[in-house]
C-alpha cells in the first residue's frame, strides 16, 4: 500500500490551452492581481471581477483534459493505496480526465457562492453581478474562488492526507503561493518521498528529493507508468 498526494498548478493545464498566471504573457501580465483576485478588488469593481471569471470559465469549458490529467486518473484507478489530487486550478480538467478524488483548494469556475449564506450552486457560463442566491435570495452571488487573503478550502483534509503520504508530487506549480507552497515541507516532515515535475525548477525546487523537468504531458504519464510498474 502506498498513499500518494499530488499537488497540481496551472502548468498541468497549460498544454490544454489554459493560460498560467506567472508566465511572461500569463494572466498576471494581462490583469492586475489586486483588482481581480482579492476580496477588496471585488468590492471595488464587482463587474470587472465577474467578467474576468466569465472569460476564464468560457476558456476552460472549451479546453480538453490532456495526457497528464488522464495519467493521474489512471494512477487513481490502478494504484495500490490512496491517490488524492489537490489542485490549485479552478478548471475541471482533472474530473473530466477521469479523476474522482480531487480537492479544489482555490475553488472552482463552475461553482457560484453566496457571500451572505455560503450556499453554493452551479455557476451559469456568464454570471451577472446582480445574480441572486437560490437559497436566501440575497443579491450576493460571487465566483466560488479563493482570493488572496481568503482561506483555501479543505485545509484539514489536505493536512491529514499530507501526514499520511508515502509519496508527494508537485506538478506545474511555481511555488509562489502559500499555503500550497508549504505542502512539500509538510509531506517531507511526515516521511514522504517528494518529487517535482515542472518545465523548470520552481521557487521551492531545492526542497524536493527529486525533480524531473519537461512538459507535463510527457513527464506525468512517464512517472505514472514508472510508479505503477513498481506496484
Ligand atoms: C509547466 C508547463 C507545462 C508551465 N508542464 N509545467 C508572505 C509570505 C507568505 C505568504 C503570504 C505572504 N503574504 C501573503 C501571503 C499569503 C498569500 C500568498 O501566498 N501570497 C504570495 C503571493 C506571497 N496566500 C493567500 O492569501 C492564500 N490564503 C492564505 O494564505 O490564507 C491564510 C491561511 C492559510 C491556511 C490556513 C490558515 C490560514 C490564498 C491564495 C489564493 C490564490 N489565489 C489565486 C487566484 C485565484 C484562483 C484563480 O483565479 O484561478 O490562485 S493566485 C494564483 O496563483 C491562482 C493559482 O492557483 C495560484 C498558484 O499559481 P500556479 O498554479 O503555481 O501558477 P503559476 O503561473 O505561478 O506557475 C505555473 C507553473 O507551471 C510554472 O512553475 C511553470 O514552470 C509551470 N509550467 N507550463 C509543466 N507544460
Ligand atoms: Zn444565500
Which domains are delineated in the chain?
A: 1-17+65-106+152-231 (3.40.50.1220), 19-62+108-145 (3.30.1600.10)
CA dist., res. 110 & res. 61, Å (int): 9
Q: What is the DSSP letter of 112?
A: E
Which ligand sits closest to the CA of 156? 1
Which ligand sits closest to the CA of 145? 1
CA 158 to chain centre: 13
CA dist., res. 124 & res. 127, Å (int): 6
Give 68 Cα–ligand 1 centroid separation in angstroms. Answer: 20
Q: Which atom of ligand 1 is nearest to the CA of 173?
A: 63
pLDDT tens profile 133-152: 999 999 999 999 999 999 99
pLDDT score for 208: 98
Task: Note the pTM of the prediction, 2 decimals.
Answer: 0.98
pLDDT score for 188: 98
Q: Which atom of ligand 1 is nearest to the CA of 68?
A: 5
Ligand 1 mutation target, pool 10, 155, 184, most atoms within 8 A of CB: 10
pLDDT score for 158: 98
Grid coordinates of 100: 474522482
Number of residues assigned to the chain: 231
pLDDT tens profile 13-40: 999 999 999 999 999 999 999 999 999 9
Grid coordinates of 176: 509562489
CA dist., res. 123 & res. 143, Å (int): 8
pLDDT score for 5: 98
- Stretches where the chain sits below pLDDT 70 are 231
Ligand 1 mutation target, pool 148, 153, 156, most atoms within 8 A of CB: 148
For residues 159 and 165, is the Cβ–Cβ distance under 8 A? no
Which ligand sits closest to the CA of 121? 2
Ligand 1: which residues within 6 Å by Cβ?
9-11, 14-15, 20-22, 26, 37, 88, 90, 106, 145-152, 155, 172-174, 176-179, 198-200, 202, 215-216
CA dist., res. 18 & res. 29, Å (int): 15
- How many Å is the maximal CA-CA distance in the chain? 54
> Which residue, 80, 99, 108, is CA-closest to 220?
99
Q: Which atom of ligand 1 is nearest to the CA of 88?
A: 57
Q: What is the DSSP letter of 151?
A: P
Amino acid at each position: 500500500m502506498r498513499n500518494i498526494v499530488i499537488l497540481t498548478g496551472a502548468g498541468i493545464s497549460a498544454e490544454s490551452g489554459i493560460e498560467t498566471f506567472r508566465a511572461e504573457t500569463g494572466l498576471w501580465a494581462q490583469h492586475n492581481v489586486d483588482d481581480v483576485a482579492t476580496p477588496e478588488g471585488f468590492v471595488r469593481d464587482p463587474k470587472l471581477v465577474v467578467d474576468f471569471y466569465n472569460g476564464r470559465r468560457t476558456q476552460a469549458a472549451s479546453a480538453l483534459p490532456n495526457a497528464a490529467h488522464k495519467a493521474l486518473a489512471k494512477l487513481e484507478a490502478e494504484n495500490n493505496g490512496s491517490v488524492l489530487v489537490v489542485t490549485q486550478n479552478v478548471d475541471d480538467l482533472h474530473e473530466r480526465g477521469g479523476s474522482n478524488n480531487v480537492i479544489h483548494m482555490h475553488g472552482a469556475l463552475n461553482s457560484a457562492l453566496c457571500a451572505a449564506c455560503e450556499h453554493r450552486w452551479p455557476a451559469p457560463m456568464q454570471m451577472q453581478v446582480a445574480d441572486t442566491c437560490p437559497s436566501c435570495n440575497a443579491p450576493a452571488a460571487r465566483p466560488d474562488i479563493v482570493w488572496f487573503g481568503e482561506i483555501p478550502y479543505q485545509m484539514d483534509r489536505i493536512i491529514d492526507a499530507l501526514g499520511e503520504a508515502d509519496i508527494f508530487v508537485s506538478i506545474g506549480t511555481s511555488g509562489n503561493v502559500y499555503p500550497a507552497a508549504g505542502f512539500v515541507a509538510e509531506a517531507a516532515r511526515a516521511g514522504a518521498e517528494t518529487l517535482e515535475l515542472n518545465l523548470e525548477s520552481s521557487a521551492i525546487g531545492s526542497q524536493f528529493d527529486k525533480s524531473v523537468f519537461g512538459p507535463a504531458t510527457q513527464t506525468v504519464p512517464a512517472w505514472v507508468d514508472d510508479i505503477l510498474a513498481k506496484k
